[in-house]
Structure formats: structure tokens, C-alpha cells
Amino acid sequence: MDIQQEFLFADGPAPEIHLPDPLADFYAAVAAKWEIPLGQPIHVALREHSFSDLQGRLELFRAPDLPLDRRQPLALRIGPNEFSSRQIVAWSLA
């Protein structure tokens, strides 16, 4: 019995195969619960911070405790600038 192997044929350079991010569902749950666009480029207005406006990709600085509780502040960052979700006055997609 012959063993047939499958090959991926594509025109052009070899296609890149990306494994799914195992934390994607967690990030989506956090973004939905706090109603913020994690992982996306945004412009954010802050209060009580050395910068009143920041622009860049919004990321979690530290993961929130489980179970997710919207009443707890999120530790966020844009680049090297850390801030709390409670400091956000307004945000918009950049």
C-alpha cells in the first residue's frame, strides 16, 4: 500500500501559515467586557496622567483577575506609557 502525502502548491512565494493566538478569545472577552478596542490603534484622552493624549496600539499591561469584573480597573498601555482604564476620558480608533 502506497502512502500518499499531501502537498500545498501555490503560485508565488511560499505561503505563511500562522498559528492562531491562544489568547485571542481572552483578549476578545476583555475587550467586550470593558468596551475598549484591545490590540487596535487608537487615540485616547486621559485624566490624571503625565500625557493627556496618547495614540498607538492599545494593549493589556497586566491581565485582569478572573472571573472578569468590569468594576475592576484594567492595567493598559500604549507603547511604554502605562495607565488605568479608569483614566480614560474618551477614545477613538486611529
* Residue 24 near residue 45 (C-beta atoms within 8 A): no
Number of domains in the chain: 1
Q: Has residue 7 been placed in a domain?
A: no
Q: What is the pLDDT of residue 22?
A: 82
CATH number at residue 80: 2.30.30
Q: Has residue 84 been placed in a domain?
A: yes
Q: Has residue 44 been placed in a domain?
A: yes
pLDDT in tens, the chain (94 residues): 556 566 656 566 666 677 777 888 999 999 999 999 999 999 999 998 888 889 999 999 999 999 999 999 999 999 999 999 999 999 999 8
Q: Has residue 52 been placed in a domain?
A: yes
Q: Has residue 8 been placed in a domain?
A: no
Residue 69, judged by CB atoms within 10 A of its CB (0-12, 13-18, 19+), counts as: exposed
- Which residues span the domain enclosing 87? 37-63+72-94
Three-state DSSP class for 67?
coil
Cα–Cα dist 31/40, whole Å: 10
